[in-house]
Amino acid sequence: MAEPSNPPCLVVNGLVTGYDGRNVLTGVSLSLNSGELVTVVGPNGHGKTTLLRTISGLLPVRKGSVSLNGRTISGLPAHRVAAGGVIHVPQGDLLFAGMSVLENLLMGAYLDADQAAVTRRLDEVFTLLPKLAERQAQIAASLSGGERRMVGIGRGLMMKGTVMLIDEPSLGLAPIVIEQIYEVIARLKASGRTILLVEENPARVADIADRIHLLDNGAFVWSGEPSVLLQRDELLATYLGG
């Protein structure tokens, strides 16, 4: 795989953070170049979601820094991080259950006063996810799990952003639905999106990830290409259960 030639757009340097006085991340560093898809895998409860929440400003940074396009964003409140270009698609559904699909999608564009741009992005979302166009008047609570996950991704795409953080998009879904979700993510990657993706199963990203970082106990224990990780049986068995 050729080395990326673009300068990093997202840089995480020595990140330390956690909850209630306990550090969950103990010194995480990574970078994403424009157009890359980088995946973080690892056991449950070892810091993957914490990493994304810290980058997006939902958790404070205790040590280290996060920068976007050369500008430090660590220490900013979450709404300013979002306005600066970080799109966070959280784990699970987290939709507004009593609102329609269309209303949920438009909530992703609440920071943008340019209605023409919002309409253009909505058309792009409906092109990428045509089922959402069919379901746009339907209440979110009545959707299937896979449809709700699509709405979550679509809502993220409604934001005007530089980097997408996608947290375990396959969580709790049937295998056929997971395949559909990853077809969408592959199309996002092909369109030039810059994506930091959290996933449990490295095989799911083998064909689309530029790099994989294996996170355990708040630190990276291995980094490299997905094809190499999938050949490291001892790593898979130790950290991912086989």
pLDDT tens sequence across 63-121? 999 999 999 999 999 999 999 999 999 988 789 999 999 999 999 998 888 899 999 99
All residues at 6 or more sequence positions from 231 whose CB lies less than 8 Å from its CB, including other chains: none
The count of other CB atoms within 10 Å of the CB of residue 219 is 17
For residue 132, the surrounding DSSP H or E stretch is helix 130-134
Highest mean pLDDT among 6-10, 17-21, 66-70: 66-70
Arithmetic mean of pLDDT over the chain: 92
Q: Tell whether the model's pLDDT for residue 26 goes beyond 60.
A: yes
- The token duo for 162 is 């530089």
All residues at 6 or more sequence positions from 73 whose CB lies less than 8 Å from its CB, including other chains: 57, 66, 67, 80, 81, 84, 86
Bridge partner list, 8: 33
pLDDT value at residue 172: 87
* pTM, full prediction: 0.93
pLDDT value at residue 2: 45
**Share above pLDDT 90 across residues of the chain, in percent, rounded to a whole number:** 83
pLDDT, tens only, 195-234: 999 998 999 999 999 999 999 999 999 999 999 999 998 8
For the segment 126-135, the average pLDDT, to the nearest whole number, is: 94
Q: Which domains does the chain have, with CATH numbers?
A: 1-85+205-242 (3.40.50.300)
Residue 27 C-beta-side C-alpha neighbours within 13 Å: 1
pLDDT value at residue 197: 97
**Share above pLDDT 70 across residues of the chain, in percent, rounded to a whole number:** 97
E-state strands within 36-180: 37-41, 63-68, 71-72, 86-89, 163-167
pLDDT value at residue 191: 93
Band (6; pLDDT cuts 50, 70, 90): low
